[in-house]
């Protein structure tokens, strides 16, 4: 029987999938939640572990979240060592060109989904010594980049939520952290972007496995913000010093090139 328990949203692909695999290897019981049932079934068959629970979850639906957490708590006997709010979607394009409904969908999944997760699982976190709530923010949560306006807004919000709750949750021995990934090697990175990425520096392509390793480090160490790669912390300092210069530097050297109309 596993002695540690992790609940992962967006767990059936990309960064979430890599985290599922690593924590299973470490002997944890893993709850893998995703809206994509086909990916869940494939992953469950591939891993074939008694320490893995795969369930469909729409993170924007609070009642569904409550049902999943209730089922999980019966297995874990009320424990939750890590809640990993990882589910998210991206957008691309000029703000006014995106359908209004697309903006709302990004907000509902990337921000409301995180709030739903924390609100629903907070009692399990409270009842587990040294528990960790870790949320996926983004390098666009450090500085707003063009063509990602509402996505960037949600990731700034997740970063702010993390900082606030890291102070609040100290009163019941729960740590709150976030991961701020740069360019991660997932299917969301198209071939056109891949061709323009540098081989080194903060905008180099990083494997999903590095995110999984960072989640484990975040449980073992006490830090609020985790930059992947670590070079991205220098961007944080650039933004504090002069956000306009930092923004223009990212636009000229980063993966999000600003198109002309």
CATH of the domain at 28: 3.40.50.720
Residue 259 in domain: no
Residues with a known catalytic role: 151
| pLDDT value at residue 261 | 47
Give me the half-sphere count of Cα atoms (radius 13 Å) on the Cβ side of residue 84: 30
Report pTM: 0.94
| pLDDT value at residue 200 | 87
- Domain boundaries, position 29: 5-253
Domain count, the chain: 1
CA dihedral sign, ordered 143, 146, 11, 193: negative
State how far the Cα of 193 lies from the Cα of 42, in Å rounded to an integer.
28
What is the pLDDT tens value at each position of the chain, 261 positions in all? Answer: 679 999 999 999 999 999 999 999 999 999 999 999 999 999 999 999 999 999 999 999 999 999 999 999 999 999 999 999 999 999 889 999 999 999 999 999 999 999 999 999 999 999 999 999 999 999 999 999 889 999 999 999 999 999 999 999 999 999 999 999 999 988 777 777 787 788 888 989 999 999 999 999 999 999 999 999 999 999 999 999 999 999 888 887 766 555 544
Burial of 186 (0-12, 13-18, 19+ CB in 10 A): middle
Residue 138 in domain: yes
Residue where the block lists tokens 């223009």: 248
| pLDDT value at residue 142 | 96
Provide the greatest CA pair distance for the chain.
59
Residue 181 φ then ψ, to 5°: -75, 150
Tokens of 205: 């392509």
State how far the Cα of 113 lies from the Cα of 119, in Å rounded to an integer.
10
**Roughly how many angstroms between the first and final C-alpha of the chain, as a whole number?**
59
Strands (E), the chain: 5-9, 29-34, 52-56, 82-85, 131-136, 174-181, 183-184, 205-206, 225-228
DSSP 144-179: --TT-HHHHHHHHHHHHHHHHHHHHGGGGTEEEEEE
| pLDDT value at residue 256 | 59
Which of 230, 201, 233 is closest to 214 using CA atoms? 230
Q: How far is CA 114 from the centre of its chain?
A: 9
Residue 260 in domain: no
Residue where the block lists tokens 């907000």: 107
Going from the C-alpha of 42 to that of each of 12, 25, 29, 37, 152, the distances in angstroms are 9, 18, 18, 9, 31
State how far the Cα of 253 lies from the Cα of 261, in Å rounded to an integer.
20
Residue 261 in domain: no
């Amino acid at each position: 029987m596993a002695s540690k328990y992790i609940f992962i949203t967006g767990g059936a692909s990309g960064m979430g999938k890599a985290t599922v695999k690593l924590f299973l290897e470490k002997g944890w019981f893993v709850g893998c939640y995703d809206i994509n049932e086909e990916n869940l079934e494939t992953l469950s068959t591939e891993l074939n572990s008694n320490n893995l629970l795969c369930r469909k979850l729409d993170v924007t639906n609070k009642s569904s979240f409550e049902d999943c957490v209730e089922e999980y708590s019966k297995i874990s006997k009320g424990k939750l060592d890590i809640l990993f709010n990882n589910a998210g979607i991206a957008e691309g394009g000029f703000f006014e060109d995106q359908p209004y409904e697309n903006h709302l969908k990004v907000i509902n999944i990337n921000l409301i989904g995180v709030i739903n997760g924390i609100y629903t699982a907070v009692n399990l976190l409270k009842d587990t010594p040294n528990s960790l709530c870790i949320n996926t923010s983004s390098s666009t949560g450090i500085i707003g980049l063009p063509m990602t306006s509402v996505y960037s807004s949600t990731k700034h919000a997740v970063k702010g939520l993390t900082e606030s709750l890291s102070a609040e949750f100290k009163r019941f021995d729960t740590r709150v952290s976030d991961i701020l990934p740069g360019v991660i090697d997932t299917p969301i990175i198209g071939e056109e972007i891949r061709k323009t990425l540098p081989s080194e520096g903060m905008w180099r392509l990083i494997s999903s496995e590095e995110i999984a390793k960072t989640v484990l480090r975040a449980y073992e160490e006490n830090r609020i913000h985790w930059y992947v790669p670590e070079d991205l912390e220098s961007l944080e300092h650039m933004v504090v010093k002069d956000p306009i210069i930092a923004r223009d530097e990212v636009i000229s050297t980063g993966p999000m090139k600003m198109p002309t109309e």
